[in-house]
Amino acid sequence: MKKLSYLILIVTTFLIFNTSCKKDDHNHSDHDSINRVIYELKSATDTVSFSFNDPDGDGGTAPVIAGGTLKANKNYTGSIKLFTLHDGQYEELTSEILAEGTKHQFFFTSTVAGIVVSYDDKDASNNPIGLSNKVQTGSSGSGVLKITLKHEPNKSAAGVSGGDLTNAGGETDAEISYPITVN
Amino acid sequence: MSQTAISQSGSLILRAKVLDAATNKPLAKVSCFISELNKTEITNSKGEFTYKLVSGYEYHLSLSHQGCEAETHHLSIFSDTTIVFYLHHYHKHLNEVKIGAKRNPIIEAVSQGQIDVLAKENLSNLLEKTTGVRTIKNGNSIAKPIIQGLYGNRLTILNQGIAQTGQQWGNDHAPEIDPLAGNRIRVIKGVSVLEYKGVNMGGLISIEANRFKDDPHLHGKLNSFFETNGFGFGANVQLEKNLPNLAWRLTGTYKNSGDKSTADYYLRNTGSREMNVSFLAEKTLFKDWKTNLFLSSFNTELGVLRGSHVSSTSDLNEAIGRSQPFFTEDEYRRDIAPPRQEVNHHLLKLSSNKLIDSSNALNLLYAGQINNRKEYDVRRGGRSEIPALFIFQHSHFLEGKWIKTRKNSITKSGVQFQYTENINQPETGITPLIPNYSSIEPSLFFTHSHNYENSKFDLGFRYDMQAFNIFTTTKTIPRENIELSQLFHNGAASISYLYHLNKQTDIQFNAGFTVRNPAINELYSFGLHQGVASLEEGNSNLKSEKSFKTSVSLQSTWTERLFTEAQVYFHNMNDFIYLKPQSQTRLTIRGAYPVFIYEQTHAQIYGFDAKVKYKLMEGIDLSADYSYLKGVNLTEDIPLIFMPANRLRGELEFSASKWGKWENPTWAISGQHTFRQNHLNNDQDFIPAPDAYLLLGSRISIERQIKSQRIMAYLQVENILNTRFRDYLNRLRYFSDDLGRNLSVGISITY
């Protein structure tokens, strides 16, 4: 009987060890997800704000993207703010991106002719980040302004610090196409 | 081995005869070494040799012969004795394909000798050396076996007789088993698969340990290797002792490798570490209950190619078609950084056998498994060291089996029960791809095998029930917890008939019907599969998959020099579950993603495997095999994706029995031509299937007996020509070339 009780002990110890884990509370919230992006453009005379909102994250209901109208041949100062939705509250992620400035960079492309976006900030290695930027508009037209946030791009690769995405590598953290009109 | 006592005296004579186990013919030139006497005798043309021994002393006799695996026997004799040894001489030539009446249906195996030489490989890559087994990979260290086009949820892997549970749903999840903890790996097809848990449509893979040697002394084995590609090294130690009341065996494995390289550049972050330990003990407890305890712990850390980590379709498009992947570095590195995986798998198995009488045996078994999987991604805000996926699973399996043996038949019937619980650890901070769930699976099975004079008939049934309890959240906000339950009934039936057409040829028919219920990922996965930059959605309305399979195989031993084997198979699968690309894309913060939803179709997979072995002359062996396979989605009239391309392999082996003091010097050269997967439409993948490629390899091995130790050393080169290639079944083909030349050396010492 001693042997039998020993066997039972081994098995029950294993069972207890296995089942003693907590049941999950299922309240998962994505720390990594970006649920809101606001791109604000200011000129001497007006302020335009583009937004991206996706409270339920990937999948589910599609995000709502709102662009806007810029004036032709104007200079704008742009700033980008990012937020995550945590327990029903929007928390700003912008400082997290700024703190890891060397590991992040925004890239800008537009289908509207004449739009030039340049960087207005630097990371610790003197390379651009793009949270602050300058937008110069040309003649009238409509299309999209696409902003791409890359995580761990190779900023020293050819063309990358000048805003060319081709050799950047890294992962895309955000990629938003804002519909815009210039007139 | 059979013993006959002849007379009684103090100093005595051992007369031994060595026969070929397959043909019963005497084997000449077998070296017979007794370590206690440090003396070798060679068998004569009648296969005989004699030794003078002392009564009551213990001796260790090693037999080695060209083309055989060396074996050691423990002897303690008290009188003049004649012993007949049967060496499995033919088996190695036939790659362990068993021939003759006692053969089980279509069994192929990787033998101990092959495992020794391939110690550096993981389970799947090792199995790929067998005809008809291929691998789906995510880089070299993450590989899953595929048999006749079936893998993952459709292919069960047995570790010491226990169906492996774990996170087997992902193509980037490799089976958590150390092949070096076993002595032999078999691919089982036919009726006997019905005895095991799991869905065994394509057959099952079984990692098995040898029975204990009949020897009370401490014996063991050390196997170590070094390879140039990745500067990998590793060692495996085995110790065993068979005392009258307790037999035990302890094994340990350690492997370590850095960045692997292609023909032209290093693959950054493809290193791996592995540390495993296992313990097997056998003891007779109570009356007649022979009890076995097996414990094993498998622990690994694997790097994933840094340049293959993409998180949007734009990233994927930028990464595809580059001459070198992003993040390629000029220098070799050993460290592993995110993206990486950490996996632990522990198994406890307790089984007891009781012989009720000469024809009835009872077997009771408990097995518990723990699987801990952590996957780390490149994350923002210093979260790369927090796993992005962290799943803990534990499962418990109970079985009662009754085996009835009659003169010409064996009947097995059993009851099984399995409980599985899968828990996502909340600290990831990411919505999990797979929900939390528990599952209860009771099963029944019955198999019967009957031997007739010229044939063998097998028949089997199996019933499984699976009840899922799923804990998940709603897909819209506010997120609410929901609990769902689903119940499935599965049945399987199978028959096989083997007929000895004549002395040379066996023909075998197999037919089976299997119902497989959808697995958890097919029902409920939801989220981003960043590895392939797609959104994957489960479908809770899926029905069970019903498949019918049939195969015919023909094995012929034409002469003692020529052996052929061919198998033709056909699988018809109704409600075949697969990931179907959807026409619409879904917009996310990272741009638009293609959406894949699990759907069902009518699919067929058919093909054949053929193999030939030919002994050109004594010491020169030629072997070749060819595999052909086609998979079709009949409803949509398109090819099935992820089906292996056809492959042709050949090997020429030169061997001798002696070379000075060395034994069994062997030199082999091999070639493997993998054809292009042409059975694929252009719109079914991001890039066209890679081109066909030819890989050449070579291997030299040699053995030697030094006192009581047997030493085997080898030198091996893979991809001799440093060919640049990409393989269709390797996901990294989107990003990088496959492995370049690899030179490996190894030594194994048995004592």
Shortest Cα distance, chain A CAs vs residue B149, angstroms = 31
Q: Which residues of B touch A29 (CB under 8 A)?
A: 429, 431
Pick the residue of A172, A173, A176, A178 with the most B CBs within 10 A to test the interface with B by mutation.
A172
How sure is the predictor about B3, in pLDDT bands with cuts at 50, 70 and 90? very low
Which of the following CATH numbers is that of domain B1-92: 1.10.3720.10, 2.60.40.1120, 2.40.37.10, 1.10.1740.10? 2.60.40.1120
Choose among B388, B527, B589: nearest Cβ to A54: B589
Q: How far apart are CA B457 and CA B289, in angstroms?
A: 31
The larger pLDDT score, comparing residue B527 to residue B343, is at B343
How sure is the predictor about B152, in pLDDT bands with cuts at 50, 70 and 90? confident
Q: Which residues of A touch B268 (CB under 8 A)?
A: none
Choose among B291, B381, B473: nearest Cβ to A96: B381
Q: Report chain B's mean pLDDT, rounded to a whole number.
A: 87
Across the interface, whether the CB atoms of A11 and B366 are under 8 A apart is answered: yes
Q: How far apart are CA B451 and CA B110, in angstroms?
A: 26
Residue of B nearest to A174 (CA): B590
Looking at the domain assignment, is residue A26 inside a domain?
no
Choose among A28, A148, A173: nearest Cβ to B380: A173
Q: Which of B115-119, B389-393, B494-498 has the lowest mean pLDDT?
A: B115-119
∠ CA(B491), CA(B493), CA(B497), 5° rounding? Answer: 170
B319 pLDDT more than 50: yes
Beta strand pairing call for B11-20 and B79-87: parallel
B92 neighbors B615 (Cβ within 8 angstroms): no
- Write out the two tokens for B352: 């007891």
Q: Which of B112-126, B337-351, B552-566 has the lowest mean pLDDT?
A: B112-126
Q: Which residues of A touch B344 (CB under 8 A)?
A: none
Task: Name which of B220, B224, B222 is nearest B235 in CA terms.
Answer: B224
Q: Which residues of A touch B479 (CB under 8 A)?
A: 27-28
Domain region containing A129: 34-182
Taking only the tens place, the pLDDT of each residue in A37-77 is 999 999 998 899 999 999 888 777 889 999 999 999 999 99
Across the interface, whether the CB atoms of A56 and B475 are under 8 A apart is answered: yes
Taking only the tens place, the pLDDT of each residue in B278-300 is 999 998 877 778 899 999 999 99
Q: How far apart are CA A10 and CA B474, in angstroms?
A: 40
Taking only the tens place, the pLDDT of each residue in B253-279 is 999 999 999 999 999 999 999 999 999
A39 neighbors A147 (Cβ within 8 angstroms): yes
Choose among A3, A14, A175: nearest Cβ to B285: A3
The mean per-residue pLDDT over the stretch B66-71 comes to 70
Q: Specify the pLDDT at position B301.
A: 96
Shortest Cα distance, chain A CAs vs residue B185, angstroms = 28
Domain coordinates in residue numbering, chain B = 1-92, 186-750
Query: Percentage of residues in chain B with pLDDT exceeding 90?
Result: 50
Looking at the domain assignment, is residue A141 inside a domain?
yes
Q: Which residues of A touch B471 (CB under 8 A)?
A: 23-24, 26
Looking at the domain assignment, is residue A53 inside a domain?
yes
The predicted model scores a pTM of: 0.86
Shortest Cα distance, chain B CAs vs residue A45, angstroms = 31
Shortest Cα distance, chain B CAs vs residue A23, angstroms = 7
Q: Report chain A's mean pLDDT, rounded to a whole number.
A: 85
Burial B264-277 (b: 16+ CB within 10 A, else e): ebbbbbbbbbbbbb
Q: Specify the pLDDT at position B73.
A: 78
Taking only the tens place, the pLDDT of each residue in A130-172 is 999 999 999 999 999 999 999 999 999 999 999 999 888 888 8
Phi, psi of B77 (to 5 degrees): -120, 150
Torsion region of B198: left, alpha or beta (phi above 0 gives left; psi -120 to 50 gives alpha): left
Task: Name which of B708, B611, B733, B705 is nearest B94 in CA terms.
Answer: B611
Q: How far apart are CA B430 and CA B275, in angstroms?
A: 29
How sure is the predictor about A7, in pLDDT bands with cuts at 50, 70 and 90? low
B451 neighbors B407 (Cβ within 8 angstroms): no
- Write out the two tokens for B553: 């195989």
Shortest Cα distance, chain A CAs vs residue B351, angstroms = 11
Q: Specify the pLDDT at position B196.
A: 92
Q: How many domains does chain A have?
A: 1
Q: Specify the pLDDT at position B559.
A: 83
Looking at the domain assignment, is residue A46 inside a domain?
yes
Cα–chain-centroid distance for residue A138? Answer: 27
Sign of CA dihedral A76, A80, A81, A84: positive
The mean per-residue pLDDT over the stretch B103-125 comes to 70
Cα–chain-centroid distance for residue A133? Answer: 16
Across the interface, whether the CB atoms of B350 and A11 are under 8 A apart is answered: yes
Q: Which of A1-5, B138-142, B631-635 has the lowest mean pLDDT?
A: A1-5
B128 pLDDT more than 50: yes
Domain holding A73: CATH number? 2.60.40
Looking at the domain assignment, is residue A143 inside a domain?
yes
Q: Which residues of B touch A103 (CB under 8 A)?
A: 380
Taking only the tens place, the pLDDT of each residue in B461-489 is 999 999 999 998 877 777 788 899 999 99
The larger pLDDT score, comparing residue B97 to residue B750, is at B750
Shortest Cα distance, chain B CAs vs residue A34, angstroms = 7
- Domain B186-750 sits in CATH at 2.40.170.20
Q: Which residues of B touch A172 (CB under 8 A)?
A: 310-312, 314-315, 590-591
The mean per-residue pLDDT over the stretch B215-229 comes to 92
How sure is the predictor about A116, in pLDDT bands with cuts at 50, 70 and 90? very high
Q: Specify the pLDDT at position B530.
A: 59
Q: Specify the pLDDT at position A8.
A: 59
Torsion region of B243: left, alpha or beta (phi above 0 gives left; psi -120 to 50 gives alpha): beta
Close Cβ partners of B737 (under 8 Å, ≥ 6 residues apart): B262, B263, B264, B724, B725, B726
Across the interface, whether the CB atoms of B310 and A151 are under 8 A apart is answered: no
Torsion region of B205: left, alpha or beta (phi above 0 gives left; psi -120 to 50 gives alpha): beta
- Write out the two tokens for B67: 């083309």
Q: Which residues of A touch B589 (CB under 8 A)?
A: 33-35, 37, 52, 54, 57-58, 63, 173-176
Pick the residue of B287, B380, B422 with the most A CBs within 10 A to test the interface with A by mutation.
B380
Across the interface, whether the CB atoms of A170 and B326 are under 8 A apart is answered: yes
